[in-house]
């Protein structure tokens, strides 16, 4: 990339050397630092998934030993959850867009923002070291007493790395909350904020309040392994189940860290390509907050068969059903946004529509596993694996790709190949369903998760799933090439290629270093697209 390819006022022009990137406090550049790191982790974690699907293509264990397979799915989970999904949209698109959408020059704490990336890099590389040294075989959930008393793998090192990455999550969360409160442009009231900002705010709240509980449980695991403090050891009167309570008190809200940002992205894309204002704006905004709050009250639904009391199970089941209400509010409102719209199927829209279907499908499966009696049958089977992959991959990763394509012209000042974009979007949709729909069937038929070998009668569905994984992998690799090409050779993007509303589109592509030539004043709500009545 040479210096003369970008207009002098763009944020790229501030410098092209390593100092300009690694010592920057510009939120747009920090977003790029995260994007590069997360892309690397996405492909590492994805490669592990491909190896696992290769193993599962035949009933007998032939590619990996049982022990290596255990380490493989553990580190796949650890990388994908903590080093990709949790930071994915917030740290990349959120970092880039939040100040632009607020009409601000930067986040409230620019240096903290850069520090969060270094903390992330240190913690995640430390965990990678644990993987290279020998790996972890406990699953990403670190359940005791396996993780505390029995496992001889690198549990302490991996837990320490995740603990460190937690700090970067909290830093991002604090930065976002304070920025939304203190840096809104004149006239930008709370109910004029785009839904993307609302979901970032809700996500940040969960990040700040849930992550420390994960920190506490990881500290206790490490102390248990190093000093034998006994808090999860029945010999001293400790309780292994207590770990599950602590872990899911974090990890269930964390599931909403991994979906709320995706909901925010889709809420920006759908109105733009349907040329309609978002239907039920306030309901969608407040349902994000409701999801964040309910998320803290449902952790026990991971423990229906762990021996918690039946009364606790009933209460947690009921509360889990409540989460369906704000989720359904969103889905219905997104669908009604499309009504009478002038829909075009550009790449971001294809991803957003894919999200709509896959999220609904995964969410409805959530109702199955939230039902006490049904969950006894489905617990720890591939049904659960399919359920959360529909939400996290079908939902979150699809939204992430959609958002990346939607805002790519803004971030880079370049257009990408629309044809290749559509091909990749359709490929991932087909590949995803081919990979994970068979897993619903497998789970329902009784195939337990986390086994590297299985009875021959499951082979048909496993082969389908493994085939789908290859298609899905191709779908994810394609953007790497055509987006890379666009970065080097793409045609210049106008300020607003999609004719979208929103402050971020009112500045140049790529934006100038301080985002806006002068601080914008906001006089209307978001999604200023024509109402259906206007065109009668």
In this complex, which beta carbon is closest to other proteins, that of residue 110 or of residue 525? 110
The least distance separating other proteins from the CB of residue 214, rounded to whole angstroms, comes to: 9
Q: Which of 487, 528, 519, 398 is nearest to 6 (CA)?
A: 487
The least distance separating other proteins from the CB of residue 21, rounded to whole angstroms, comes to: 18
Running DSSP on this structure, what letter comes out for residue 87? T
Task: Report the alpha-carbon distance of residue 371 to residue 361 in Å, rounded.
Answer: 16
Residues between 505 and 534 that touch other proteins (CB under 8 A) = 514
The least distance separating other proteins from the CB of residue 186, rounded to whole angstroms, comes to: 11
Residues between 39 and 68 that touch other proteins (CB under 8 A) = none
Is the distance from CB of 355 to CB of 402 less than 8 angstroms?
A: yes
The total number of residues shown for the chain amounts to 536
Adjacent-strand bridge partners of 492: 414
Prior bond of 510 cis (ω within 30°):
yes
Contacts 24+ apart (CB under 8 A), 57-62: 57/462, 57/463, 57/466, 58/459, 59/453, 59/454, 59/455, 59/456, 59/458, 59/459, 59/462, 60/453, 61/452, 61/453
Task: Report the alpha-carbon distance of residue 9 to residue 153 in Å, rounded.
Answer: 52
Under the binding rule (CB under 8 A), the answer on residue 435 touching other proteins is no
Task: Report the alpha-carbon distance of residue 449 to residue 482 in Å, rounded.
Answer: 35
Rounded to 5°, the CA angle 27-413-405 comes to: 80
Task: Report the alpha-carbon distance of residue 294 to residue 225 in Å, rounded.
Answer: 33
Under the binding rule (CB under 8 A), the answer on residue 142 touching other proteins is no
Is the distance from CB of 173 to CB of 491 less than 8 angstroms?
A: no
* Backbone angle region of 275, left / alpha / beta, with phi > 0 → left and psi within -120 to 50 → alpha: left
Binding track over 111-130 against other proteins, x by CB under 8 A = x-------------------
Task: Report the alpha-carbon distance of residue 455 to residue 468 in Å, rounded.
Answer: 20
Task: Report the alpha-carbon distance of residue 124 to residue 247 in Å, rounded.
Answer: 19
In this complex, which beta carbon is closest to other proteins, that of residue 45 or of residue 238? 238
Under the binding rule (CB under 8 A), the answer on residue 235 touching other proteins is yes
Q: Is 414 helix (H, G, I), strand (E, B) or coil?
A: strand
Q: Which stretch binds other proteins (CB under 8 A): 39-47, 108-116, 429-437, 489-497?
A: 108-116
Binding track over 462-501 against other proteins, x by CB under 8 A = ----------------------------------------
Is the distance from CB of 150 to CB of 225 less than 8 angstroms?
A: no
Under the binding rule (CB under 8 A), the answer on residue 106 touching other proteins is yes
Q: Which stretch binds other proteins (CB under 8 A): 214-222, 359-367, 415-423, 429-437?
A: 214-222
Binding residues for other proteins, rule CB under 8 A, total 46
The least distance separating other proteins from the CB of residue 403, rounded to whole angstroms, comes to: 23
Q: Which stretch binds other proteins (CB under 8 A): 69-77, 232-240, 436-444, 446-454?
A: 232-240
In this complex, which beta carbon is closest to other proteins, that of residue 61 or of residue 212? 212
Q: Which stretch binds other proteins (CB under 8 A): 222-230, 370-378, 428-436, 447-455?
A: 222-230
In this complex, which beta carbon is closest to other proteins, that of residue 37 or of residue 231? 231
Is residue 462 packed enough to be buried (19+ CB in 10 Å), middle (13-18) or exposed (0-12)? buried
Rounded to 5°, the CA angle 429-434-439 comes to: 125
Residues between 170 and 209 that touch other proteins (CB under 8 A) = 170, 173-175, 177-179, 181-183, 208-209
In this complex, which beta carbon is closest to other proteins, that of residue 201 or of residue 382? 201
Under the binding rule (CB under 8 A), the answer on residue 311 touching other proteins is no
In this complex, which beta carbon is closest to other proteins, that of residue 176 or of residue 390? 176
In this complex, which beta carbon is closest to other proteins, that of residue 54 or of residue 315? 315
Q: Which residues bind other proteins (CB under 8 A)?
A: 99, 104-111, 170, 173-175, 177-179, 181-183, 208-213, 215-217, 219-220, 223, 226-231, 235-239, 242, 246, 249, 514
């Amino acid at each position: 990339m040479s210096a003369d390819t970008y207009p002098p006022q763009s944020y790229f022009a501030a410098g092209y050397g390593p100092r300009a990137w690694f010592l920057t406090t510009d939120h747009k550049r920090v977003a790029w630092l995260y994007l590069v790191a997360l892309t690397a982790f996405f492909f590492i974690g994805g490669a592990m998934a491909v190896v696992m699907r290769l193993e599962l293509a035949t009933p007998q264990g032939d590619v990996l030993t049982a022990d290596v397979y255990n380490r493989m799915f553990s580190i796949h989970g650890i990388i994908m959850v903590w080093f990709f999904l949790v930071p994915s949209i917030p740290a990349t698109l959120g970092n880039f867009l939040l100040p632009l959408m607020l009409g601000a020059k930067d986040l409230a704490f620019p240096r903290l923002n850069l520090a969060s990336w270094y903390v992330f890099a240190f913690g995640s590389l430390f965990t990678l070291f644990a993987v290279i040294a020998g790996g972890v075989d406990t699953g990403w959930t670190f359940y005791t007493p396996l993780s505390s008393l029995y496992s001889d793998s690198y549990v302490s090192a991996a837990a320490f790395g995740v603990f460190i990455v937690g700090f970067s999550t909290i830093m991002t969360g604090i930065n976002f909350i304070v920025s939304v409160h203190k840096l809104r442009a004149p006239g930008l009231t709370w109910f004029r904020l785009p839904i993307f900002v609302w979901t970032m705010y809700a996500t940040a709240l969960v990040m700040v309040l849930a992550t420390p509980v994960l920190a506490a449980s990881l500290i206790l695991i490490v102390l248990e392994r190093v000093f034998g403090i006994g808090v999860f050891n029945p010999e001293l009167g400790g309780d292994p189940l207590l770990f599950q309570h602590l872990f899911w008190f974090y990890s269930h809200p964390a599931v909403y860290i991994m979906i709320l940002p995706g909901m925010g992205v889709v809420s920006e894309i759908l109105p733009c390509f349907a040329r309609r204002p978002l239907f039920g704006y306030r309901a969608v905004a407040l349902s994000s907050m409701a999801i964040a709050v309910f998320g803290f009250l449902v952790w026990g639904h991971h423990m229906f068969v762990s021996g918690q009391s039946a009364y606790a199970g009933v209460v947690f089941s009921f509360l889990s059903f409540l989460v369906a209400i704000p989720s359904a509010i969103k889905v219905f409102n997104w669908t009604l946004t499309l009504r009478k719209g002038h829909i075009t199927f550009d790449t971001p829209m294809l991803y957003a529509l894919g999200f709509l279907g896959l999220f609904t499908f995964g969410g409805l499966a959530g109702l199955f596993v939230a039902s006490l009696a049904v969950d006894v049958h489905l617990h720890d089977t591939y049904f659960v694996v399919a359920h959360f992959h529909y939400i996290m991959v079908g939902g979150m990763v699809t939204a992430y790709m959609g958002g990346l394509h939607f805002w790519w012209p803004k971030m880079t000042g370049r257009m990408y190949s629309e044809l290749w974009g559509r091909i990749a979007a359709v490929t991932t949709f087909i590949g995803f369903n081919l990979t994970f729909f068979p897993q619903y069937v497998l789970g329902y038929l009784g195939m337990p998760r986390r086994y590297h070998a299985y009875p021959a009668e499951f082979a048909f569905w496993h082969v389908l799933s493994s085939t789908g994984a290859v298609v899905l992998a191709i779908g994810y690799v394609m953007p790497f090439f055509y987006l890379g090409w666009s970065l080097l050779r793409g045609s210049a993007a106008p300020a607003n290629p999609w004719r979208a509303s929103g402050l971020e589109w009112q500045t140049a592509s790529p934006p100038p270093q301080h985002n806006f030539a002068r601080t914008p004043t906001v006089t209307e709500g978001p999604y200023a697209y024509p109402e259906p009545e206007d065109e009668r």
